[in-house]
């Protein structure tokens, strides 16, 4: 071997030794360690805890506000309007004067009937004195019995005539009373159709309509499938009304179920229902369309989760539940009732955390973390899971 060849061999060995040192110092992995796959990072999802609480079974429908009592005011006699005591849209009390008619003829008839009564009463007093004298004379045999009987018959006829006169006076008073129309209920007056000087007749148009405003009713229909729950609740069911344009956080108007129709409409498969509500502030108006919410019953100690946690696959329902190791596990559940954003289910225990958002990318066993817990500022505010109500 020449000197030049020996130099090349030593140089190659040095390069090989340097390469091995550099590989070890740069963190090269051993073959066994390189074969183990890395653990996946937890997936960020939103969580909520299942709650134990009483869940109301609610029925919602579109209803129409109706007056519980509405009366068309019509005259009972043909006459002329003398005065109108109300204004259009005025609130009236029961017994308030509405209209006055020309009553001169009826007053004259009443005065005539009273005069007739006074005249016949004077005649009756005279016949009573004659009967008393006839009894005394008959006791002394100064007159015959038939003479006494004649006086008695005249007395009895006069008494009957006096009762007829009293009835005529009462009839005249009633006829006179028809000339003043008073409100039969408390409510609000509609448009006034007649004015002073107008001729009115019983067969004509109504003078005005009085509608009760407080309390007021709401009429709506419910599916016949809810009839059983409706009848079981009877009139203890509460009726809640939301006004058009009202904000979600505004309180609902509260009332009670007052009427369930006696038959189901076969054309629509619905039954008509009414509720009665106090209306002191006159927030409800007849003819107004409102949203009605009726609580039929309560599900006691129900397990409630947000509907967003449910996974729908045909007729099957399931949720992702986070186990103690922080992994998402798919669990089948039974849906008992759903309303709004909440659902009553079976198969999950109160306090267990379920996945709301992000479940579309999950597989059973995937580690998860609560996105709200790692959000900036989350250290000072509870996450949805920790903020859920107690089980």
Residue 206 sits in a domain of what CATH number? 2.40.50.100
Question: Is residue 390 in some structural domain?
Answer: no
83 C-beta neighbours (distance < 10 Å), count: 11
End residue of a domain, out of 135, 155, 178: 178
> Do 255 and 288 reside in the same domain of the chain?
yes
pLDDT digits (tens, 9 = 90+) for 145-160: 888 889 899 999 999 9
The residues, any chain, with a CB within 8 Å of residue 79's CB and separated by 6 or more, are: 101, 102, 103, 179, 199, 200
The pTM score is 0.62
The secondary element (H helix, E strand) that includes residue 177 is helix 145-177
* Strand order, beta sheet including 180-182: 180-182, 97-101, 79-84, 199-200
Three-state secondary structure call for residue 375: coil
Closest CA to 98 of 87, 89, 107: 87
294, 300, 302, 306: CA torsion to nearest 10 = 30
> Do 220 and 241 reside in the same domain of the chain?
yes
> Based on the structure, what is the number of domains in the chain?
4
> Do 293 and 235 reside in the same domain of the chain?
yes
Question: Is residue 1 in some structural domain?
Answer: no
User: What average pLDDT does range 59-67 have in this prediction?
Assistant: 90
Of 358 and 277, more confident: 277
Question: Is residue 366 in some structural domain?
Answer: yes
pLDDT digits (tens, 9 = 90+) for 180-229: 999 999 999 999 988 899 999 998 889 999 999 989 999 999 888 888 87
**What percent of the chain shows pLDDT beyond 70?**
84
> Do 132 and 195 reside in the same domain of the chain?
no
> Do 162 and 124 meet the contact criterion of CB atoms below 8 Å apart?
yes
End residue of a domain, out of 299, 323, 356: 299
> Do 87 and 119 reside in the same domain of the chain?
no
Question: Is residue 112 in some structural domain?
Answer: yes
Tell me what pLDDT residue 18 has: 59
> Do 375 and 358 reside in the same domain of the chain?
yes
> Do 82 and 188 reside in the same domain of the chain?
yes
User: What average pLDDT does range 105-127 have in this prediction?
Assistant: 93
Give the CATH number of the domain where residue 146 resides: 1.10.287
User: What average pLDDT does range 311-331 have in this prediction?
Assistant: 89
Tell me what pLDDT residue 2 has: 58
Tell me what pLDDT residue 32 has: 46
User: What average pLDDT does range 276-288 have in this prediction?
Assistant: 89
> Do 186 and 199 reside in the same domain of the chain?
yes
Tell me what pLDDT residue 14 has: 62
Please tell me which of 98-107, 143-152, 238-247 the model is most confident about, judged by mean pLDDT.
98-107
Tell me what pLDDT residue 160 has: 94
Closest CA to 137 of 151, 127, 148, 126: 148
> Do 139 and 161 reside in the same domain of the chain?
yes
Question: Is residue 200 in some structural domain?
Answer: yes
Tell me what pLDDT residue 10 has: 62
Phi and psi torsions of 145, nearest 5°: -65, -35
The tokens describing 50, both together, are: 């299942």
> Do 219 and 127 reside in the same domain of the chain?
no
Tell me what pLDDT residue 385 has: 38
User: What average pLDDT does range 31-42 have in this prediction?
Assistant: 60
Tell me what pLDDT residue 161 has: 93
End residue of a domain, out of 131, 154, 178: 178
Give the CATH number of the domain where residue 236 resides: 2.40.30.170
Question: Token match 């009895």: residue?
Answer: 156
> Do 155 and 203 reside in the same domain of the chain?
no
pLDDT score of 97 more than 90: yes
Over 74-138, what HEC string results?
A: CCCCCEEEEEECCCCCCEECCCCEEEEECCHHHHHHHHHHHHHHHHHHHHHHHHHHHHHHHHHHH
Question: Is residue 294 in some structural domain?
Answer: yes
Question: Is residue 273 in some structural domain?
Answer: yes
pLDDT score of 6 more than 80: no
Full residue range of the structural domain in which residue 125 is found = 103-178
> Do 293 and 215 reside in the same domain of the chain?
yes
Of 280 and 10, more confident: 280
């Amino acid at each position: 071997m020449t000197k030049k060849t020996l130099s090349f061999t030593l140089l190659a060995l040095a390069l090989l030794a340097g390469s091995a040192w550099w590989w070890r110092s740069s963190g090269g992995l051993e073959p066994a360690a390189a074969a183990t796959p890395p653990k996946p990072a937890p997936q960020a999802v939103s969580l909520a805890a299942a709650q134990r609480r009483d869940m109301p079974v609610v029925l919602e429908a579109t209803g129409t506000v109706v007056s519980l009592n509405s009366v068309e005011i019509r005259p009972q006699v043909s006459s002329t309007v003398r005065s109108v005591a109300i204004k259009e849209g005025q609130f009236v009390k029961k017994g308030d004067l509405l209209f006055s008619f020309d009553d001169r003829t009826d007053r004259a008839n009443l005065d005539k009937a009273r005069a007739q009564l006074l005249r016949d009463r004077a005649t009756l007093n005279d016949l009573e004195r004659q009967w008393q004298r006839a009894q005394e004379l008959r006791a002394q045999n100064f007159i015959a019995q038939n003479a006494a009987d004649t006086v008695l018959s005249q007395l009895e006829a006069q008494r009957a005539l006096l009762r007829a006169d009293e009835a005529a006076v009462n009839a005249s008073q009633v006829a006179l009373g028809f000339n003043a129309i008073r409100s039969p209920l408390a409510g609000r007056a509609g448009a006034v159709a007649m004015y002073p000087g107008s001729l009115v007749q019983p067969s004509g148009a109504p003078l005005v309509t009085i509608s009760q405003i407080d309390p007021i009713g709401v009429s709506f229909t419910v599916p016949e499938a809810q009839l059983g729950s409706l009848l079981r609740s009877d009139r203890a069911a509460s009726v809640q009304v939301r006004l058009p344009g009202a904000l979600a956080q505004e309180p609902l108007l509260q009332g009670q179920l007052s009427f369930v129709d006696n038959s189901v409409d076969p054309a629509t498969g619905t039954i008509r229902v009414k509720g009665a509500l106090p209306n002191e502030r006159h927030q409800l108006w007849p003819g107004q369309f409102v949203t009605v919410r009726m609580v039929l019953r309560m599900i006691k100690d129900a397990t409630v989760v947000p509907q967003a946690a449910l996974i729908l696959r045909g007729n099957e329902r399931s949720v992702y539940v986070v186990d103690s190791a922080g992994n998402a596990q798919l669990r089948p559940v039974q849906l008992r009732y759903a309303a709004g954003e909440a659902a009553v289910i079976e198969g999950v225990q109160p306090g267990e955390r379920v996945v709301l958002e992000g479940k579309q990318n999950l597989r059973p066993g995937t580690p998860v973390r609560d996105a709200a817990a790692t959000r900036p500022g989350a250290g000072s505010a509870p996450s949805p899971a920790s903020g859920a109500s107690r089980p």
